[in-house]
Structure 1
Amino acid sequence: MYSAQIEKFLKAKKISIGDRVKVGQYEGILMPRIELGDTSSLVIKLDNGYNIGVKFDKSMKKVKTEWRVEKPQAKTGVTKIVFDKKLPTISIIGTGGTIASKVDYKTGGTSASFLAEDIAKQVPDLKEIANIRAWQIMEMASEDMVPDTWVEIAKAVAEEINQGSKGIIVTHGTDTLHYTAAALSFLLKDLPVPVAVVGSQRSSDRGSSDTVQNVSCAANFVANSDVAEVCTVLHGSVNDDFCFAIRGTKSRKMHTSRRDAFKAVNDAPIAKIWWQDKRIEILNSYKKRNDKKVLVDGKIETKVALVKFFVGMDPDVLDFYKKYKGIVIEGTGLGHVATRSKLSLIPKIGKMIKAGIPVVMTSQTIYGRTHPSVYRNLRTLSELGVIFVEDMLPETAYIKLMHILPKARNVEDVKKLMQTNMVGEITERTEVVSSE
């Protein structure tokens, strides 16, 4: 609530939350006060979609009533939007995140309020691209997801595909979107159609939201491309012009807030999708659509850790993971950790490997590839049994290790599987590529 003075004034003037008002030079929709906001200031949503705080002024007047704040209605199940038999049918599976968020007027932050069907209806050109089935399976911030969540999403994707959907969009929070994209790449076997994991850096009720372009490009990609892989599909530049479809095992969020935060690492994007003219430009090789029935290989080992090496790291840190089933280390450069100082990790790593715990090496530089023999200490690690995984991203290696451990009989099996390219997670050679 606003201050007693403001509440009394609003009641006297018959002004309600949701009414269009004018205060000085500002005109817009009167919004609820955020829980932690100044009780003597008004919150007004301008026509450009942004909210501003305005000092209360008794000259405030109601312009006209044309919009009111509505509480989100609980919706579940599958929603179909207008069906056109000439168009392919695709599915939108909602999981939550910023793309499904609106401003929370209790805190002033954002919270999940848009469901999959809301997002579908918000993108006007979807009806020209495909028939839409919208299904909300959860409302979860991506940082709250756990490995079992990936399996749940994979099962929902497989169900839609096996019921005839020609492409899948998974809406998702951006912070761990690349984890889910990589996980789905491994979990979905014999994938016959494209799967686009889509997010938004700006909430769907903001004027600068990237939701509409990202969902539109993703719909075009899954409905009309010949690709049969899991990709992330988000803005390719800061402008509203195109999106990149990036292989799920090679995509990573590289900025906290830019709309073009996702980049293809050590690889080129599979496609560039132009928003307005609906053109799809293929940039890389890919697996093609097929008639196979997709299966979910959902058996994973969750007792796996991703550990970042840092200068001054106490080797005893690794003791915490002595009961884990596998460790992925983010080393420096080509895959270094301390090996010849008083803080050498060699004894602890060697002990883990002897105990049957696979230790996988990636690089915290993100770009480039690890190498087991360029320097003496790298050879020491390799001879110890550390598994170097070429140019695989740390997060992808972490997920792949979870995926293969139930299939491996011993550490040698783990090494062979980790160093085998399964779904584009390893490239044969590092090329100079750009996502621009």
Structure 2
Amino acid sequence: MYRGKAKHILGDIAEGDRVKVINGGKVYNGILMPRSELGDSRHVVIKLANGYNIGFNIDNIKIELISVREKEDKEKKVEEESSPENKPCVSILGTGGTIASKIDYMSGAVHPAFSTSEIVNAVPELEDIASLNTEIVFNILSENMTPEHWRIIAKEVVKAMNKSSGVVVAHGTDTLAYTASAIAFMLSDIPKPVVFVGSQRSSDRPSSDASLNLISAVRVALSDIAEVVSVMHAGSSDEGCAIHRATKVRKMHSSRRDAFKSIDSLPIGEVIGDKITTFQEYSR
């Protein structure tokens, strides 16, 4: 939600509209992205064609409308989402962390401020893959995660499995491997995928890995991999994501996008585009 000077500069331009931003003699075309209610009032964010988000200080730009986003019939949308004849359902549980954070463009600090639904709004490609149920379990930094939080997550995952084809858990990366492993031991022999996902860089940063990680996680949640896994960048580029068994994965670097590695084992597989390739046996 834009406010203050940013809202004034945008005028009738709405979130989701295609816009042209002129900044320092360069032209950027993209989709105007939503801002958190906690976001400052002096920046706008657009999603470029390559999938990256980029933020602009409104004092330095000229912004023009290219095309208006097509409005959807809300009643039709609700009916489609509830119809079993349409896309399968994936539950996304938010617990906090960088994937559920925003950057303060004034200070450069990152704050846990995005709700899970805001993340989905920031990655509209998700709606082409699945019907989504989103829920905030809690919103904490992962270094504050405790065994009591693990028990709560396990209970919420079980509830979510009962109403969806698979479950995605958005989690901070610092302790993601610990939580995923704990949940794997607590929920053995599960019938559906439970996919932990995080990001090394916040969702509204141009170099964020959140979008690809989340899209890949939802695809894995619709697969036949009936295990607890984590899905994170496989390399430093945006080529694809690796699928790591929860009890084998470890974070190996503080900031690299491909920081997560399977230890003494190959990953279960990888996600490149809409294709999942597996490298070893897994529970089905």
Query: TM-score, with normalisation over the residues of structure 2?
Result: 0.74
- Counterpart Cα distance in 2 of 1:199 and 1:61: 32
Residue-by-residue CA offset, 1:197-256 (whole Å, 9 max, x unaligned): 000111111112111111111111111x21111000011111112111100010011111
Structure-2 change in CA distance of 1:235 and 1:89 (3 Å): same
CA RMSD of aligned residues (A): 3.0
Could you say if the C-alpha distance between residues 81 and 176 of structure 1 is closer, same or farther in structure 2, counting changes exceeding 3 Å?
farther
* SS of residue paired to 1:232: strand
Instruction: Give the secondary structure class of the aligned counterpart of 2:99.
Output: helix
1:103 deviation in Å? 1.4
Relative to structure 1, the CA distance from residue 212 to residue 193 in structure 2 (aligned partners, 3 Å threshold; closer, same or farther) is same
| Runs of 4+ deviating beyond 3 Å | 17-29, 43-54, 60-66
By percentage of residues, which structure has more strand? 2
Higher alpha-carbon deviation: 180-189 or 45-54 = 45-54
Q: Would the aligned equivalents of 1:27 and 1:44 in 2 still touch at CA under 8 Å?
A: no
Query: In the TM superposition, what is the alpha-carbon distance from 1:176 to its structure 2 partner?
Result: 0.7
The 1:45–1:191 alpha-carbon spacing in structure 2 relative to 1, beyond 3 Å, is: same
Identical-pair percentage: 39
Partner of 2:163: 164
Residue 9 of structure 1 aligns with which residue?
A: none
**CA deviations over 1:108-142 (Å, ceiling 9, x no partner):** 30111221112223222322322111111111110
Contact 2:240/2:272 (8 A) holds in 1: yes
Deviation at 1:268, TM superposition (A): 1.1
1:81 and 1:131 in contact (8 A); partners too? no
Letter in 1 for 2:165: K
Q: Distance in 1 between matches of 2:176 and 2:61?
A: 43
| Aligned partner of 2:238 among 237, 240, 256 | 240
TM-score with structure 1 length normalisation?
A: 0.50
1:16 to 2:5 alignment: yes
Report the alpha carbon displacement of residue 25 of structure 1 after superposing the two structures with TM.
5.4
> 1:260 is matched with which residue?
258
Alignment correspondent of 1:131 = 131
Match of 2:279 in 1: 283
Quick one: structure 1 residues 194 and 261, their matched pair in 2 at CA, closer, same or farther if it must change by over 3 Å?
same
How many residues get paired? 239
Contact 1:201 1:209 in 2 (8 A): yes
What is the CA deviation profile of residues 299-349 of structure 1, one whole-angstrom value per residue up to 9, with x for unaligned ones? xxxxxxxxxxxxxxxxxxxxxxxxxxxxxxxxxxxxxxxxxxxxxxxxxxx
Distance 1:160 1:105, change over 3 A: same
Larger of the two Rg values belongs to structure: 1
Counterparts of 1:95 and 1:220, CA distance in 2: 20
- Looking at structure 2, the residues matched to 273 and 81 of structure 1 have their Cα atoms a distance apart, in angstroms, of 30
Return closer, same or farther for 1:146/1:64 CA change in 2, 3 Å cut-off: same
Asked if 1 retains the 8 angstrom alpha-carbon contact of 2:242 and 2:269, the reply is yes
Determine the C-alpha separation between the residues in 1 that align with 2:269 and 2:117. 26
Q: Is the 8 A contact 1:242 1:273 kept in 2?
A: yes
Where 1:237 maps in the other structure, the secondary structure is coil
CA contact (8 A) 2:90 2:132 kept: yes
Matched residues in 2 for 1:191 and 1:284: separation? Answer: 18
| Change in CA separation of 1:218 and 1:266 when aligned onto 2, cut-off 3 Å | same
- Secondary structure in 1 aligned to 2:218? helix
Are the aligned partners of 2:45 and 2:204 in contact in 1 as well (CA < 8 Å)? no
- Contact conserved, 2:23 with 2:61, CA < 8 A, in 1? no
Greater relative contact order, per chain length (Cα 8 Å cut-off, separation 6+)? 2
| Partner of residue 4, structure 1 | none
Per the alignment, residue 38 of structure 1 pairs with none
Shift of residue 87 of structure 1? 2.4
Query: Does the aligned pair in 2 maintain the 1:27–1:46 contact within 8 Å?
Result: no
- Aligned twin of 2:102: 102
AA of the residue aligned to 1:110: V
Q: Distance in 2 between matches of 1:170 and 1:100?
A: 11
Residue 219 (structure 2) aligns with: 220
Q: In the TM superposition, what whole-angstrom CA distance separates every residue of 1:351-409 from its partner, at most 9, and x where no partner exists?
A: xxxxxxxxxxxxxxxxxxxxxxxxxxxxxxxxxxxxxxxxxxxxxxxxxxxxxxxxxxx
Q: Which amino acid aligns with 2:150?
A: W
User: Counterparts in 2 of 1:195-344, with a 5 A limit?
Assistant: 195-223=194-222, 225-275=223-273, 278-288=274-284
Point out where structure 2 has 5 or more consecutive residues left out of the alignment: 11-20, 33-41, 66-77
Secondary structure, counterpart of 1:197 in structure 2: strand
Equivalence map 1:375-386=2 (5 Å): none
Distance of aligned partners of 1:51 and 1:226 in 2 relative to their CA distance in 1, 3 Å threshold: closer
Unaligned runs of 5+ in 1: 1-14, 30-42, 55-59, 67-79, 289-436
Cα shift at 1:51:
5.5
Counterpart residue type for residue 281 of structure 1: T
Task: Give the AA of the match of 2:114.
Answer: F
Measured at CA, do residues 99 and 146 of structure 1 come closer, stay the same or move farther in structure 2, by a change above 3 Å? same
Q: Which whole-Å CA distance do the structure 2 matches of 1:122 and 1:82 have between them?
A: 21
Preserved CA contact (<8 Å) 1:94 1:134: yes
Give the whole-Å Cα distance in 1 for the aligned partners of 2:126 and 2:208: 17
Q: How has the CA–CA distance of structure 1 residues 270 and 238 changed in structure 2, closer, same or farther, with 3 Å as cutoff? A: same
Name the aligned partner's letter for residue 229 of structure 2.
C
Structure 2 match to 1:341: none
